[in-house]
Structure 1
Amino acid sequence: MLHTLKRWPLIAAMLVMAFAFSAQAEIVVPNFVPLVQSAGKAVVNISTEKKVMQRGGLPSEMFRGLPPEFERFFEQFEGQRSARPRTQRSLGTGFIISADGYIVTNNHVVAGADTVLVNLQGANGKDHSLKAQVIGTDEETDIALLKVDSKTPLPFLAFGDSDKMEVGEWVLAIGNPFGLGHTVTAGILSAKGRNIQSGPFDNFLQTDASINPGNSGGPLINMEGKVIGINTAIIASGQGIGFAIPSSMADRIVAQLKANKKVTRGWIGVTIQDVDENTAKALGLPEASGALIGSVLPDEPAAKGGMKDGDVVLEVNGKKVDDSSALLRAIAAEAPGSKVTMTVWRDGERKTLTIQLGERNLKGGKKGGQIEEENAPALGLSVRPLTKEESRAARLKPGTGLLVVGVEPGKLAAESEIQEGDVILSANLKPVKSVDEFSKIIREDAKKRGVVMLQLQRQGQTFFRSLPLTDNAK
Structure 2
Amino acid sequence: MFKDLKTNKNIFILLIFLLGIFLGMHTTFILMDFPNSNNNNVIAEVNSIYIAETEQENAVIKAVQKSIPSVVSIIVEKTSGVIYDERLEKDPFERFFRDLIPEDRNTLEKIGAGTGFIVSEDGLIMTNKHVVSDEKAVYSILTNEGETFKVEVLAKNPVQDIAILRIQDVQDRRFKPLKLGDSSVLNLGQSVIAIGNALGEFQNTVSVGVVSGLQRNIVAQGNNTIETLEDIIQTDAAINRGNSGGPLLNLRGEVIGINTAVSMDGENISFAVPINKAKRDVEQVLIQGKIAYPFLGIKYLVLNDEYAKELNLNVNYGALIADEPLSITPNSPAEKAELKEGDIILEFDHQKISTKNTLAKIIQDYFPGQEIEIKVLRNEKEFLINVVLGDWNDF
What's the C-alpha RMSD, in Å, of the aligned pairs?
3.2
Matched, 1:209 2:230: no
For 2:213, what is the secondary structure of its paired residue? strand
Matches within 5 A, 1:3-402: 31-53=59-81, 75=93, 78-79=96-97, 82-84=100-102, 85=105, 87-89=108-110, 90-110=112-132, 111-112=134-135, 114-122=137-145, 127-138=146-157, 140-148=159-167, 149=170, 152-178=173-199, 179-197=201-219, 198-199=226-227, 202-281=230-309, 282-285=312-315, 288-295=316-323, 297=328, 300-305=332-337, 307-323=339-355, 326-345=358-377, 351-360=383-392
For 2:77, what is the secondary structure of its paired residue? strand
Alignment partners' CA distance in 2, 1:76 and 1:128: 37
Alignment partners' CA distance in 2, 1:77 and 1:222: 52
Q: CA shift at 1:319, angstroms?
A: 3.2
User: Residue type of the partner of 2:161?
Assistant: D
Unaligned runs of 5+ in 1: 1-25, 57-71, 365-474
Alignment partners' CA distance in 2, 1:331 and 1:347: 25
- The verdict on how the C-alpha distance between 1:76 and 1:214 changes in structure 2, with shifts beyond 3 A counting, is closer
1:113-145 alpha-carbon deviations (Å, 9 max, x no partner): 6543322234xxxx3222323323335423222
- The verdict on how the C-alpha distance between 1:29 and 1:353 changes in structure 2, with shifts beyond 3 A counting, is farther
Alignment partners' CA distance in 2, 1:329 and 1:193: 11
- The answer as to whether partners of 1:272 and 1:324 remain within 8 angstroms in 2 is no
Q: CA shift at 1:174, angstroms?
A: 0.7
Alignment partners' CA distance in 1, 2:80 and 2:356: 40
TM-score (ref. length: structure 1) = 0.59
Structure 1's consecutive aligned runs of 4 or more residues displaced over 4 angstroms after TM superposition are 26-30, 345-351
Q: CA shift at 1:220, angstroms?
A: 0.8
Alignment partners' CA distance in 2, 1:135 and 1:128: 21
- The answer as to whether partners of 2:301 and 2:320 remain within 8 angstroms in 1 is yes
1:49-71 alpha-carbon deviations (Å, 9 max, x no partner): 21144569xxxxxxxxxxxxxxx
Instruction: Name the structure, 1 or 2, with higher relative contact order (CA <8 Å, separation 6+).
Output: 2
Alignment partners' CA distance in 2, 1:76 and 1:173: 42
Q: CA shift at 1:304, angstroms?
A: 4.0
Percent sequence identity is 33
**Paired residue total:** 316
For 1:225, what is the secondary structure of its paired residue? coil
Q: CA shift at 1:153, angstroms?
A: 2.9
- The verdict on how the C-alpha distance between 1:101 and 1:272 changes in structure 2, with shifts beyond 3 A counting, is same
**What is the match of residue 8 of structure 2?**
none
For 2:76, what is the secondary structure of its paired residue? strand
Matches within 5 A, 1:412-427: none
For 1:176, what is the secondary structure of its paired residue? strand
Alignment partners' CA distance in 2, 1:134 and 1:236: 29
Q: CA shift at 1:265, angstroms?
A: 2.4
Q: CA shift at 1:293, angstroms?
A: 2.1
Q: CA shift at 1:325, angstroms?
A: 8.2
- The answer as to whether partners of 1:136 and 1:258 remain within 8 angstroms in 2 is no
User: Residue type of the partner of 2:372?
Assistant: V
Unaligned runs of 5+ in 2: 1-53, 86-90, 220-225
1:310-347 alpha-carbon deviations (Å, 9 max, x no partner): 44333322334223982124335432221112234456
For 1:203, what is the secondary structure of its paired residue? strand
Q: CA shift at 1:228, angstroms?
A: 1.5
User: Residue type of the partner of 2:124?
Assistant: Y
For 1:31, what is the secondary structure of its paired residue? helix
- The verdict on how the C-alpha distance between 1:185 and 1:332 changes in structure 2, with shifts beyond 3 A counting, is same
- The answer as to whether partners of 2:343 and 2:376 remain within 8 angstroms in 1 is yes
For 1:323, what is the secondary structure of its paired residue? coil
Larger Rg: 2
- The verdict on how the C-alpha distance between 1:354 and 1:216 changes in structure 2, with shifts beyond 3 A counting, is same
